[in-house]
Amino acid sequence: MLVIKDLHAKVGDRKVLDGLNLEVPAGEVHAIMGPNGSGKSTLAYTLAGRPGYEVTAGSVSYQGRDLLALAPEERAQAGLFLGFQYPVEIPGVNNVYLLKAALNAARKHRGEAEVDAFEFLTLVREKMKVMQMDEAFLSRGVNEGFSGGEKKRNEILQMLVLEPSLALLDETDSGLDIDALKVVANGVNTLRSPTRAIVLVTHYQRLLDYIQPDRVHVLARGRIIRSGGPELARELEARGYDWVLNEAA
């Protein structure tokens, strides 16, 4: 699904990713952990094609294609979804309107007709139930005045509607209360399938209690310095990052 080789990237003048290698096969859930400022969000943004994030070396293949050759909206249309660490507010633009535009963009890309209005509402309502969101959120502006936790739920709602092949979820668990964490985890789990891959960026083991990862990676100093199974996350939780950093140094 996703093969990253020796990726170097800079933001502005700052080199953030420094020879990062990562492989995420279809059907798997990978967790990326790492100290603040280590480059986790940068990796997510770089994969999503955010302007200002410049790849200076390396390659990324997504479903066998050269991901880096695609424009950001093409990456999204091709099934790459980024759940933002800080979802932005777009005042006056209906949540449901954005959602529909996004779905139709993906459908158009696949050569399908625009979604029928009734079908669409049925789909959205069903997903909102999964996310335990009130329908009132549909007619509000995108993330406008949403609480931190509501914004995160909204990200997962969008993901469920768009059904991406590769989901990069950047700290979707931060800012969630305990019940919301379960709801979000449940939402993510419904998306798990042999044809999809999910990358979770997180600081905490508790998310991984609900979403069992196949692999756990430690990102530090712009590269993956250690990879392991679910037990690695528990070890990090218990011991912090110093020992990994020291061993890698």
Ligand X SMILES: Nc1ncnc2c1ncn2[C@@H]1O[C@H](COP(=O)(O)OP(=O)(O)OP(=O)(O)O)[C@@H](O)[C@H]1O
Rounded CA separation 214/225 (Å): 17
Contact between 42 and Mg ion per CB under 5 A: no
Instruction: Indicate the pairing of strand 166-170 with strand 80-83.
Output: parallel
**Residue 91 in contact with another protein, rule: CB under 8 A:** yes
CA distance 50 to 31: 21
The answer to whether residue 52 forms part of the interface with another protein (CB under 8 A) is yes
Shortest distance (Å) from residue 238 CB to ligand X:
19
Looking at residue 112, the DSSP 8-state letter turns out to be P
What span, in angstroms and rounded, lies between the C-alpha atoms of 110 and 113?
9
Minimum CB distance to ligand X, residue 24 (Å): 18
Choices 61-69, 85-93, 101-109, 141-149; region in contact with Mg ion by CB under 5 A: 85-93
51 makes contact with ligand X (CB under 6 A): no
The answer to the question of residue 37 lying near ligand X (CB under 6 A) is yes
Tokens 């993330």 locate to 143
Q: Which residue of 9, 20, 28, 41 would you call a contact of Mg ion, by CB under 5 A?
A: 41
The item of another protein, ligand X, Mg ion, none sharing an interface with residue 109, based on CB under 5 to 8 Å by kind, is another protein
Task: Compare residues 26 and 90 and give the one whose CB is closer to another protein.
Answer: 90
The answer to whether 16 touches 55, Cβ cutoff 8 Å, is no
Q: Indicate whether 149 belongs to the interface with another protein (CB under 8 A).
A: no
CB 173 within 8 A of CB 204: yes
Helix 117-130 vs helix 95-109: crossing angle, to nearest 10:
110
CA distance 59 to 43: 13
Give min distance, CB of 220 to ligand X, in A. 9
Answer yes or no whether residue 105 interacts with another protein by CB under 8 A: yes
Residue 39 host element (H or E) = none
What is the footprint of ligand X within residues 70-89 (CB under 6 A)? 85
Judged by the rule CB under 6 A, the positions of this chain that interact with ligand X are 11-12, 14, 16, 34, 36-42, 85
